[in-house]
Amino acid sequence: MRADGWLCAIVEKYNSFIKVRQDLFGFADILCVKQNEVLLIQTTSGSNVSERIKKIQALQAAEIWLDSPNRSIHVHGWRKAGPRGGVKKWECRVVKLEYA
């Protein structure tokens, strides 16, 4: 995201009292700003993308966030991929969330 000109900040925090990571609004790990756009990103493993999408769509905070035309939510699913027996590289699958 930074390479594409976004200003990014990690908004996930570690709560040492209960030993758990807590996301902003219950779903966001990264906050990105570019001109008049604001983007929240949930990062996860490639196999958990659909579960994260379901979780986010069930949250009222996500619906409120997406009510603005200048706000969006992405889920980034990371996995290693490459030819069998060859060098594996990290790939990111980006899913943009929208409410009807």
This prediction has a pTM of 0.87
Task: Find the CATH number of the domain harbouring 74.
Answer: 3.40.1350
Reduced to 3 states, what is the DSSP secondary structure of residue 4?
A: helix
Residue-range definition of the domain harbouring residue 56: 2-81+88-97
Residues 64-95 pLDDT 10s: 999 988 999 999 999 999 999 999 999 999 99
Using 50, 70 and 90 to split pLDDT, how confident is the model at 99? low
Query: Which residue has 């990371």 as its token pair?
Result: 78
Residue-wise DSSP of 27-95: TBSEEEEETTEEEEEEEEEGGGHHHHHHHHHT-HHHHHHHTSTTEEEEEEEEEEE-STTS--EEEEEEE
Each residue of 8-60: pLDDT tens digit? 999 999 889 999 999 999 999 999 999 999 999 999 999 999 999 999 999 99
Q: How many domains does the chain divide into? A: 1
